[in-house]
Structure 1
Amino acid sequence: MKYLIVGLGNIGREYEHTRHNIGFDVVMAFVIKHGGQLVSDRYAYVAEIKWKGKIFVCICPTTYMNLSGKAVKYWMDKEKIDLQNMLVVVDDLALPLDKLRLRPGGSDAGHNGLKSIQESLGTSNYPKLRFGIGNNYPKGRQVDFVLGKWNKEEEILVKLKIDKSVEAIENFAAAGITDTMNKINNIVI
């Protein structure tokens, strides 16, 4: 069994460890936990992880958020991975900071990275792990908030959620999406 694990984010130091790059951080944590290393390849930083008889092709697109679909489509086709075996990890303003939400499909909800993937694949019916970042920003400051770094009070919770997200990726492959949804969608971290 082969899986494509996609962390959405932007390349460049100015974007490292921002709310919008949480997908990159989750994928990096998964790769590190399993002794891998992301290397620069076509359209993405890539690592291949073997765990419990499964292969995980982990990517962090280097196309910038708005063109994430280009990298996703390339790696899905190259590795011949089924749509239901792909999991995209993405930041979500509509979810509070203490929530994770896994779904087998669903809209892009205005997220440019998801919009690009949907356009490239011709469907929105692929699994998404949404990492709640909250929406605690003043009117008109959404971009600054999303592209901003976590504040000190948030960092402990974010670390816990990254760990839970790594477990969710493992469970997604080991037990399937339904079991994983039941485990993580109702917990408050």
Structure 2
Amino acid sequence: MIYIIMGVSGTGKTTLGTFLSDKLGWPFHEGDDFHPPENIEKMARGVPLTDQDRFPWLFRLHEIIKRERCCGSDALVACSALKRLYRQILRHGSTVLTPPSTCPRPHVSPPLDVFFIYLHGSYDFIHQRLAARRGHYMKADLLRSQFDILEPPSEEENFLSLDVGRSISDMAGEVEKHVLSLKHQQQ
């Protein structure tokens, strides 16, 4: 199983991912580590990323997810995954960008072993967290741009919704219950 921890910057994706990795013994892939230098420089200057900036990054993360799935491994990946299209790229790669006119593609169902953990909270709460954070290139000024493009996941996207006002251990406990439930269903 692959769990992609998603949400705007400052929701605690890395903190939860690291905690779950230690608790479950699964590898954790921090999405920020795979941004090209140009993206990091742009965000550090306070310039929001465009879809074109994000696509190469999302393709790299898709390859990591694909590799883990092919090996039959369980893994955690942190990625903002703000738009539905981004989440489709994470699951299916560049095939979702093929124009239907040149190559009609059927509706693609989400893989049953890939889930999203949607971390969410109020703008003010998350902004306070970002403002207090030190040493990260993503500044609090860019938070509004992330909230503006955020498309929360829909029911058919296999997701678990967690309010970031809860403690890390409480959220991790909810994820563990989800994992155990799925593993039980697979048996």
More strand, by proportion: 1
Please, what TM-score do these two structures have when normalized by structure 2?
Answer: 0.43
Larger relative contact order, structure 1 or 2 (CA cutoff 8 Å, min sep 6): 2
Please, what TM-score do these two structures have when normalized by structure 1?
Answer: 0.43
Higher CA-based Rg: 2
More helix, by proportion: 2
